[in-house]
A and B are shown apart, each in its own frame.
Chain A
């Protein structure tokens, strides 16, 4: 089973990487870009009997390692 985890900075935390990418897009003429934030996609292949159990394990992975609760929030697909 494949689980996709999205990890991103919490709203309100300045994303300097996103700001730099936004500036680069503006430089290429994409002047309509109002905001841009960079996050991480982590794809996990795992053995789990049900989708719910796979999600529960992925949630534990996020809490224990994949996301830093001080800075980041995550969603699991």
Chain B
């Protein structure tokens, strides 16, 4: 399975994602420059964390209108998969590829800490190897990660099972104190209606080897690999 890691000016998790895909998962991976519109030779595009174009207007606003992100619409329509983490999640929301938006953390502080995520939907290619209620440990590192969607969008997310991860305690309880940024209903990650685009604020690439303190981030990649091999969708493209 071929991965493409997008690099914007100001991206900072690109090398980490590249390392995990190439050295830990042993899959082919290349960098994709933000001006590139050609996504023909990859199966999964990764939008890493960072501060794309400095995030001066709003987090992810300028990147959400960049050439590579404009090409993602067609890529997804052709069956491609997209994983956006942190700034990548903000960019996917700004681009309209995922519903909702990410706002300033309710505490107004930048939060860099370990979090626990409880898995809510295992019917997506990114979570098929997990079980409902499973708790994953991976870090967050952001100032603008408070998920917001209006009442109509939230109802639709719930109805379609698009809420994939919620912030929780180590035991998997969704509580107010386990919510690090004030996200609506403790939402940490959502997918599009088809389940082929995942956005999450935590960093799976920073929980991929025992030395990092957790390997739970790998489970997302392994689910995706397993799903695409199983249904052969990466061979059809």
Binding site for B on A (CB under 8 A): 13-14, 16-17, 20, 64-66, 68, 70-71
Contact = CB atoms under 8 A, between A and B. Distances in A.
B101 A20 contact: no
A27 to B, nearest CB: 15
Interface string B68-104: 0000000000000000000000000110000111011
Interface string B162-206: 000000000000000000001000000000000000000000000
Contacts of A71: 101, 103, 148
Interface stretch (B7-15, B55-63, B207-215): B55-63
Given A13-B148, A65-B57, A71-B103, 20 more contacts: A13-B103, A14-B106, A16-B103, A16-B104, A16-B108, A16-B182, A17-B104, A20-B108, A65-B61, A65-B62, A66-B57, A68-B58, A70-B93, A70-B99, A70-B100, A70-B148, A70-B149, A70-B150, A70-B153, A71-B101
B65 interface: yes
Contacts, number: 33
Interface residues on B, range: 20 to 34
Nearest to A71: B101
| Interface of chain A: mostly helix, strand, loop or mixed | helix
A38 to B, nearest CB: 10
Contacts of A20: 108
A71 B103 CA distance: 8
Contact of A68 (B99, B101, B150): B101
B108 A17 contact: yes
A64 B108 contact: no
Of B58, B65, B99, B106, the most chain A CB neighbours within 10 A belong to B58
A23 to B, nearest CB: 11
A68 B94 contact: yes
17 contacts: A16-B104, A16-B108, A16-B182, A17-B104, A64-B65, A65-B57, A65-B61, A68-B58, A68-B61, A68-B94, A68-B101, A70-B93, A70-B99, A70-B101, A70-B148, A70-B153, A71-B103
Interface string B14-26: 0000000000000
A46 to B, nearest CB: 17
A64 B96 CA distance: 11
Given A65-B61, A65-B65, A68-B58, A16 B106 contact: yes
